[in-house]
Amino acid sequence: MNPKRLYIRLSSLGDVILASTALEVISVPMSHECHWLVLQEYSTLLEGHPRLNQVLTFQKKVGLKGWLRLCRKIWESEYSEIYDLHCNLRTRLMKLCFVWWSLSEQRKMPRWQMISKQRFRLYGYYLLKKLWPSKLRPQPWVQRYAQFVGGTGSERPDLRYLLFQNDFSFPSELVGKNYICIMPSSRWRGKMWPIQHVCSLIQSKFVDFTPVILGTKQDLESIKLLKQLSDQGINCVSGIGRWSLKETAYILARSSGIIGVDTGLVHFAEALGVSSITIFGPTTPDMGFGPWRADSIALGLDLNCRPCSKDGRFCCRLFQPYHCLKGYTAKHAMSELNSRFKSARP
């Protein structure tokens, strides 16, 4: 029987995309049967991946009992290796169940490996900010995921296979147009760049493009931006709640790039071969989630209080809270973009 390997990364969108770097490691023998466990809502990202034999899914609504049933199912599947790319309470509980069943049933437990979250590096960076040596800051997650499964660390996510899975009726309003995707929303409010700044950047006409606003119907910032652009008579296309993840892949892949905050769709675009412009506030690229494409750009204010947390839930500033985002205007962004593009010209 061929060795069976299970990768576990349940969520979220950006983390699953970055974790898919593990599937690009060519040192993994093709004889290995590879499976992946992920939350149901992100399964379409991995279904059809040329390196995966099966995608297992879990739904949060089934609760603890549902998770324990899934643990038992995975135990009975007799995996030879399990790579825990998540390391949360659920996966630790699964490992504990495996230890118990291996003892009670006198069966060998699969080789279980858990990726390091490099908490010392991260918390030291939170505490000392810019004074924390760059060599001690967290390694990029794409590098960590690759090396964890035996890669060189130079491997990168590649989700371009999504573009060849089914026919997609490309929106007629985008045919033949130069457009850029805009993603102003995030799961964490503390990461979102104020809408007026996003609007001003679009109005600046940095390049001649049609803005395509992305997001779900729950992304209020995307809805607000769309309304503000419409009120100001700026031609734009709404993709809010319009496309599935697979369909969004087609939209991103044909775009001239994406402008967004530190959120999953930015990583999605890069994994499809598209450059990104990311505005960082309470987080910084050195935390491990920075853009990895050479033509992608990370923007943000150089403040002594950054980084403060991984989601910006709490701001430590007594005066001018969230100045990292509110104080970073479209003029700041334009100045940095002009400077970088000018220096890139021969």
**Threshold 0.75, pTM exceeds:** yes
The strands making up 210-213's β-sheet, listed across from edge to edge, are: 237-238, 210-213, 179-183, 258-261, 276-279, 297-299
Residues paired with residue 146 on neighbouring β-strands, in sequence order: none
pLDDT in tens, 150-162: 999 999 999 999 9
- pLDDT attached to residue 335: 87
Count other Cβ atoms within 10 Å, centred on residue 338.
11
- pLDDT attached to residue 29: 67
- pLDDT attached to residue 30: 67
Ranges of the chain with pLDDT below 50: 342-346
Query: Could you give the C-alpha distances from 216 to 122, 137, 237, in angstroms and in order?
Result: 31, 33, 14
- pLDDT attached to residue 343: 45
Domains in the chain, start-ordered, CATH in brackets? 4-158 (3.40.50.2000), 166-344 (3.40.50.2000)
